[in-house]
């Protein structure tokens, strides 16, 4: 099947799915989420595929997160201010299904992260089985700075424990080495060797018998499910709905976005945090904030 927002190839037991919106920093649109899940299902059905690798097109970003600028009229009213709980529920449900698709896939899924991995894209990467990144990658649960909830908090909490609280409460960005220290990524590779090294690991992994890969993944996933992952995710989903309808800073963010555009909204948001940024926050200067602005909203 031909796709317009993802690329799909499979060779020698490994399938590669590329998030293919480089001009938008591979922002996660509704169409991309749907096409990705179709490509993932193709890889899962293919008996010759044993391992799946997900990457972002270009070298700027794995993904900037969910697309803030796309037309969401297929979900609800054109203005988010007019959305009711049913509209928010439908939208979050679509996002959750996309993020959870890699966890529910029976085969191992590797996230190969090159560049920025932010907001919903970080949630997605955390739901993958394994994460490898380049040494210039940047991460952040930056959606919390807009007063948006994070449905995948239970997965992040499982991955890095209590350390996720600071990341979520501040919305700070962090680099590849900090991601490795926290346990967000399994390994960090030089940028020019990332794909070569990840391919070698994926090929090595694909030499394991398929039943062993599939059933070991089931066993590992069941550990989380037995600990109450589904219940925690349902509660987190409800929290997202509450935050989405609350009278918070996100309401002002949306007002600016609707009247002046997403760039102006992010500029307003960044000004609130700028006096308190530090070298450890990942946004320690105007230059860093300006450099990451376009990445965050998925535009040039």
- Is the confidence at residue 13, as pLDDT, over 70? yes
Angle between helix 229-245 and 210-226 (nearest 10): 60
* Average pLDDT for 279-283: 59
Query: Residue 292's pLDDT is what?
Result: 42
Query: Residue 78's pLDDT is what?
Result: 65
CB-based contacts of 174: which residues, under 8 Å, 6+ apart? 138, 139, 140, 167, 182, 282
Tell me the pTM.
Answer: 0.86
Tell me the pLDDT of the chain averaged across its residues: 84
DSSP track, 124-175: HHHHSSEEEEETT-EEE-GGGGGT---TTHHHHHHHHGGGHHHHHHH--EEE
At 257 the three-state DSSP class reads: helix
Q: How far apart are CA 58 and CA 144, in angstroms?
A: 27
The more confident residue out of 111 and 255 is 111
* Average pLDDT for 208-225: 94
- Residue that the structure tokens 């799909």 belong to: 8
Q: Which of 73-77, 105-109, 111-115 has the lowest mean pLDDT?
A: 73-77
Query: Residue 107's pLDDT is what?
Result: 98
Query: Residue 286's pLDDT is what?
Result: 36
The more confident residue out of 280 and 114 is 114
pLDDT of 116-128, one tens digit each? 999 989 999 999 9
Query: Residue 288's pLDDT is what?
Result: 37
- Is the confidence at residue 263, as pLDDT, over 90? no
Confidence of residue 251 (pLDDT cuts 50, 70, 90): confident
CATH topology of domain 6-246: 2-enoyl-CoA Hydratase; Chain A, domain 1 (3.90.226)
Query: Residue 104's pLDDT is what?
Result: 95
- Spans of all domains in the chain: 6-246
In 3D space, the residue among 88, 159, 91, 89 whose CA is nearest the CA of residue 123 turns out to be 159
Q: Which of 32-46, 77-91, 249-263 has the lowest mean pLDDT?
A: 77-91
């Amino acid at each position: 099947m031909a796709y317009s927002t993802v690329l799909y190839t499979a060779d020698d037991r490994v399938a590669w799915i590329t998030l293919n919106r480089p001009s938008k920093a591979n922002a996660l649109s509704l169409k991309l989420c749907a096409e990705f899940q179709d490509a993932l299902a193709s890889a899962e059905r293919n008996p010759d595929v044993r391992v799946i690798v997900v990457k972002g097109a270009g070298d700027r970003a794995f993904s900037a997160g969910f697309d803030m600028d796309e037309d969401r009229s297929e979900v609800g009213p054109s203005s988010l201010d007019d959305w009711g709980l049913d509209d928010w529920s439908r939208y979050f449900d679509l996002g959750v299904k996309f993020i959870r698709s890699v966890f529910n896939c029976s085969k191992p899924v590797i996230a190969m992260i090159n560049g920025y991995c932010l907001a919903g894209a970080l949630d997605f990467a955390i739901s993958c089985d394994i994460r490898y990144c380049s040494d210039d990658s940047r991460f952040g649960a930056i959606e919390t700075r807009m007063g948006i909830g994070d449905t995948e908090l239970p997965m992040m909490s499982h991955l890095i424990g209590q350390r996720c609280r600071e990341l979520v409460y501040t919305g700070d960005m962090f680099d590849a080495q900090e991601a490795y220290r926290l346990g967000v990524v399994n390994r960090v590779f030089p940028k020019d060797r990332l794909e070569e090294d990840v391919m070698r690991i994926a090929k090595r992994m694909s030499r394991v018998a398929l039943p062993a890969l599939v059933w070991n993944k089931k066993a590992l996933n069941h550990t989380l499910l037995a600990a109450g992952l589904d219940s925690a995710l349902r509660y987190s989903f409800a929290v997202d709905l509450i935050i989405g309808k609350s009278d918070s800073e996100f309401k002002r963010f949306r007002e600016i976005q609707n009247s002046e555009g997403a760039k102006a909204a992010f500029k307003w948001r960044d000004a609130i945090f700028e006096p308190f940024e530090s070298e450890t926050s990942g946004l320690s200067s105007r230059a860093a904030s300006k450099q990451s602005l376009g990445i965050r909203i998925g535009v040039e």
